[in-house]
Amino acid sequence: MCFNAAKSWYSGWYSDDVGKEGHQDLTHFDTPGQWWKGKLVGIDVYLNDVFDENQHQVVMRISMGLYMMFNRKKGMNSGVKAYGDQVVVVQQWGKGGKSKVLATLDEENDAFTFSNEFYEFDIVVKVCDVFIAPIATGPQITGGTASQSSTSVNAEADRAIDGNLD
C-alpha cells in the first residue's frame, strides 16, 4: 500500500493532528492547457519532519481517477519490492475500487500521456527531475585523520571524513 497513491489518498494518512497536509487535488483541472508544477516527495520526508507543506506534496489526485506519488525507497518504505524510487501513476475509481498502475516514471522514462475516449483532452504527466538524496548507512565521521592503502581516481582518504555523503 505504500506505493499506491489512490489507497493512500482514501485512507487519508497524509493529514495529522497538527493539520500538516501532504496532498494536492487537481480534479478541478478540466480544460486543456492547465498545469501544476511542484515537488513530489516520498513518505519518509513527511514522517521525519523535513516536509514543508508550502512546497512539498506526497500524494496527488488528478482528474479521471488518476493518482500519483513518489515511491521513495527509504525509511518505512525501504523494503518495497515494486516501483522503488519511481513516480507511480495509478488509476482507481471510487473509494472501494480496484486500482491499476498505469505508469512508473523516472529520469529515463519521464512522461506519461493518459487518453480516454470520454474526454476531449489528454492528461500528460511529466517528471522534470528526480533527485534521490544519498542514504547514510552508519554514523557520519568528520574530522580527524584518515588513511588508506591505495588511491583510485585521485580519491584521497580525507574524502571519507569530509562530511560529504556523496
Q: φ, ψ for residue 117 (rounded to 5)? A: -65, -20
Domain boundaries, the chain: 5-126
pLDDT tens figures, 104-154: 999 889 999 999 887 788 889 998 877 776 666 666 677 778 888 887 777
pLDDT tens figures, 70-98: 988 888 888 888 898 899 999 998 888 88
Share of residues in the chain with pLDDT > 70 (%):
89
Share of residues in the chain with pLDDT > 90 (%):
16
The dihedral built from the CA positions of residue 153, 156, 161 and 164, taken in this order, carries a sign that is negative
Q: Which long-range contacts (CB under 8 A, 24 or more apart) does 96-104 make?
A: 97/6, 97/65, 99/4, 99/6, 99/7, 99/67, 102/66
Q: How far apart are CA 104 and CA 68, in angstroms?
A: 10
Q: Which of 34, 106, 114 is nearest to 67 (CA)?
A: 114
